[in-house]
Amino acid sequence: MQQVNTGTVLAPTEIRVRRRSRVLEVAWADGTRYQLPFEYLRVYSPSAEVRGHGGGEGKLELAKEAVQVTQVEPVGLYAVRLIFDDGHDSGLYSWDLLRELGAEYEQKWARYLERCERLGYQRRPVG
């Protein structure tokens, strides 16, 4: 992937879909590498459908444990659009957002699990 400066975060040097392990691997020129689970990317989609149209935590996406990314489409020089096998395709993942999702994975994932627990939802193992 071409290295592009968008003014904030440089474009990743590599994006790989790892279907078997259900992760999107994103590498940056500074050596940072994130393995972002598909489920995590799906429940934290930047789409208005998931994030909501106002403030707050947005919609809680459930039962996405086995979701797959079927396609990654470049969007200009600043983002990718992930297409999921559950039909979701409206989120644009900017380089800034991918970097943030990687850097804040532990906190964001813990917050998601807490929200699931408050609702009484138990995640199902995939396998």
**Predicted structure pTM score:** 0.88
User: According to the CATH classification, is domain 14-119 in 3.30.2020.30?
Assistant: yes
Residue by residue, pLDDT tens for the chain (127 residues) are: 434 444 457 899 999 999 999 999 999 999 999 999 999 999 999 987 777 655 566 789 999 999 999 999 999 999 999 999 999 999 999 999 999 999 999 999 999 999 999 999 999 988 7
What tokens appear for 62 in the block? 């459930």
